[in-house]
Chains A and B, each alone.
Chain A
Amino acid sequence: MEEKEALAVEMRNITIKFPGVLANDNVNLTLKKGEIHALLGENGAGKSTLMNCLAGINRPNAGEIWVDGQLQSFSSPKDAIKSGIGMVHQHFMLVPTQTVTENILLGLDNVGFFMNMRKYEQEIRELADQYSLHVDPEAYIWQLSVGEQQRVEILKMLYRGANILIMDEPTAVLAPQEIEGLMDTLRAMTERGKSIIFISHKLNEVKSIADRVTVLRKGKLTAEGLPMDDMDRKKLAELMVGRTVLFTVFKEENEPGDVVLDVQGVSALNKRGVPALRELSLQVRAGEILGIAGVSGNGQSELAEVITGLRECTGSITVNGEQMANAHPLKAIERGVAHIPEDRNKVGSSPNLSITENTIIKDYKEDPIGEGWQINFLKAAERASGLKDKYDILAPNVETMARKLSGGNLQKVILAREITTQPKLMIAVQPTRGLDIGAIESIQNLLLEQRKNGTAILLISEELDELVSLSDRLSVIHEGKIMGTIEDVENANIEEIGLMMTGEKVS
Chain B
Amino acid sequence: MRLEIEKRVDDLPWWAPAALSVGAVVLAFVVGGIIFKLIGGEPIRVFGFFIRNTFGSWPAFSDTLVKATPLIFTGLACTVAFKMKMWNIGAEGQLFMGAWFASFVVLFPLVSPETSRWIVIPLMMIFGMVGGGIYGFIPGWLKARYNVNEIITTLMLNYVAFEWVNYWIFDQWSDAGFQMSPTFAKNAWLPRLTDYARQFRAFSGITLHLGVIIALIAVVIVWWLLSKSQWGFEVKLIGDNPDAARYSGVHIKRNIILVLMVSGALAGLAGMIEVTGVVHRLQQQISPGYGFTGIIVAWLAKLNPVAVILVSILFGALIIASREIQPAGISQMLQGLILFFIISSEVFTRYKVKLVRNSAAVVGAD
Q: Do A and B bind each other?
A: yes
Interface residues of A, Cβ cutoff 8 Å to B:
18-19, 57-59, 71, 73, 75-76, 308, 310, 328-334, 339, 341, 346-353, 357, 360-362, 364-365, 370, 373-375, 377
A348 is contacted by which of B7, B11, B237, B247 (Cβ under 8 Å)? B247
Tell me whether A349 and B244 are in contact (CB under 8 A): yes
- Which of B4, B5, B240 has the most chain A CB within a 10 Å cutoff? B240
Q: Which chain B residue has the least Cβ–Cβ distance from A349?
A: B244
- Kindly list chain B residues whose C-beta atoms are within 8 Å of the C-beta of A73: 360
CB distance from B121 to the nearest CB of A (A): 27
Asked if B199 is at the interface (CB within 8 A of a chain A CB), the reply is: no
Query: Told that A347-B244, A351-B240 touch, could you supply 10 new A-B pairs with CB distance under 8 A?
Result: A59-B9, A73-B360, A75-B5, A310-B247, A328-B249, A350-B245, A353-B236, A360-B233, A365-B230, A374-B230
- Kindly list chain B residues whose C-beta atoms are within 8 Å of the C-beta of A370: 230
Asked if B366 is at the interface (CB within 8 A of a chain A CB), the reply is: no
- Kindly list chain A residues whose C-beta atoms are within 8 Å of the C-beta of B9: 18, 58-59
25 CB contacts below 8 A, A to B, read A57-B7, A75-B4, A76-B7, A328-B249, A328-B251, A329-B249, A332-B249, A346-B244, A347-B243, A347-B244, A348-B247, A349-B244, A351-B240, A351-B241, A352-B240, A353-B240, A357-B237, A361-B244, A362-B248, A362-B249, A364-B233, A365-B230, A373-B230, A374-B229, A374-B230
Tell me whether A330 and B249 are in contact (CB under 8 A): yes
Tell me the chain B residues, 1-57 only, with Cβ under 8 Å from chain A: 4-7, 9-11
Asked if B198 is at the interface (CB within 8 A of a chain A CB), the reply is: no
CB distance from A135 to the nearest CB of B (A): 26
Tell me whether B6 and A76 are in contact (CB under 8 A): yes
Q: How large is the interface on B (under 10, 10 to 19, 20 to 34, 35 or more residues)?
A: 20 to 34
- Kindly list chain B residues whose C-beta atoms are within 8 Å of the C-beta of A19: 10-11
Q: How far is the CA of A356 from the CA of B247 in the complex (A)?
A: 17
Tell me whether B228 and A375 are in contact (CB under 8 A): yes
Tell me whether B241 and A346 are in contact (CB under 8 A): yes
Q: How far is the CA of A444 from the CA of B202 in the complex (A)?
A: 76
Q: How far is the CA of A374 from the CA of B243 in the complex (A)?
A: 23
CB distance from A369 to the nearest CB of B (A): 9
Q: Which chain A residue has the least Cβ–Cβ distance from B249?
A: A330
- Kindly list chain A residues whose C-beta atoms are within 8 Å of the C-beta of B6: 59, 75-76
CB distance from B2 to the nearest CB of A (A): 11
Q: How far is the CA of A333 from the CA of B247 in the complex (A)?
A: 9
Interface residues of B, Cβ cutoff 8 Å to A:
4-7, 9-11, 228-231, 233, 236-237, 240-241, 243-251, 360
Q: How far is the CA of A364 from the CA of B235 in the complex (A)?
A: 13
Known: A76-B6, A348-B247. A361 touches B228 (CB 8 A): no
Q: How far is the CA of A75 from the CA of B351 in the complex (A)?
A: 11
Q: How far is the CA of A18 from the CA of B10 in the complex (A)?
A: 6
Q: Which chain B residue has the least Cβ–Cβ distance from A334?
A: B249
**CB-CB nearest 7 A-B residue pairs:** A330-B249, A361-B248, A350-B241, A333-B249, A350-B244, A58-B9, A350-B240
How many A-B contacts if CB must be within 8 Å? 81
Chain A's interface: helix, strand, loop or mixed, by majority? loop
Tell me whether B233 and A341 are in contact (CB under 8 A): no
Chain B's interface: helix, strand, loop or mixed, by majority? mixed
Q: Which chain A residue has the least Cβ–Cβ distance from B224?
A: A374
Q: How far is the CA of A486 from the CA of B249 in the complex (A)?
A: 34
A329 is contacted by which of B230, B233, B236, B246 (Cβ under 8 Å)? B246
Q: Which chain B residue has the least Cβ–Cβ distance from A52?
A: B9
Q: How far is the CA of A18 from the CA of B240 in the complex (A)?
A: 23
Tell me whether B237 and A353 are in contact (CB under 8 A): yes
Known: A18-B9, A353-B240. A341 touches B230 (CB 8 A): no
Tell me whether A339 and B247 are in contact (CB under 8 A): yes
- Kindly list chain A residues whose C-beta atoms are within 8 Å of the C-beta of B243: 346-347
Q: How far is the CA of A71 from the CA of B245 in the complex (A)?
A: 47
- Kindly list chain A residues whose C-beta atoms are within 8 Å of the C-beta of B246: 310, 329
Q: How far is the CA of A321 from the CA of B250 in the complex (A)?
A: 24
Q: How far is the CA of A117 from the CA of B237 in the complex (A)?
A: 41
Q: Which chain A residue has the least Cβ–Cβ distance from B232?
A: A375
Q: Which chain A residue has the least Cβ–Cβ distance from B241?
A: A350
Q: How far is the CA of A265 from the CA of B249 in the complex (A)?
A: 25
- Kindly list chain A residues whose C-beta atoms are within 8 Å of the C-beta of B229: 373-375
Q: Which chain A residue has the least Cβ–Cβ distance from B4?
A: A75
Tell me whether A58 and B7 are in contact (CB under 8 A): yes
Q: Which chain A residue has the least Cβ–Cβ distance from B11?
A: A19
- Kindly list chain A residues whose C-beta atoms are within 8 Å of the C-beta of B248: 329, 333, 361-362
Q: Which chain A residue has the least Cβ–Cβ distance from B354?
A: A75
Q: How far is the CA of A73 from the CA of B5 in the complex (A)?
A: 13
Q: How far is the CA of A333 from the CA of B4 in the complex (A)?
A: 50
- Kindly list chain A residues whose C-beta atoms are within 8 Å of the C-beta of B247: 308, 310, 329, 339, 341, 347-348
- Kindly list chain B residues whose C-beta atoms are within 8 Å of the C-beta of A75: 4-6
Q: Which chain A residue has the least Cβ–Cβ distance from B244?
A: A350
- Kindly list chain A residues whose C-beta atoms are within 8 Å of the C-beta of B240: 350-353
Q: How far is the CA of A362 from the CA of B247 in the complex (A)?
A: 9
CB distance from B149 to the nearest CB of A (A): 17
- Kindly list chain B residues whose C-beta atoms are within 8 Å of the C-beta of A377: 228
- Kindly list chain B residues whose C-beta atoms are within 8 Å of the C-beta of A357: 233, 236-237
- Kindly list chain B residues whose C-beta atoms are within 8 Å of the C-beta of A375: 228-230, 233
Q: How far is the CA of A375 from the CA of B6 in the complex (A)?
A: 38
CB distance from A371 to the nearest CB of B (A): 9
Tell me whether B241 and A330 are in contact (CB under 8 A): no
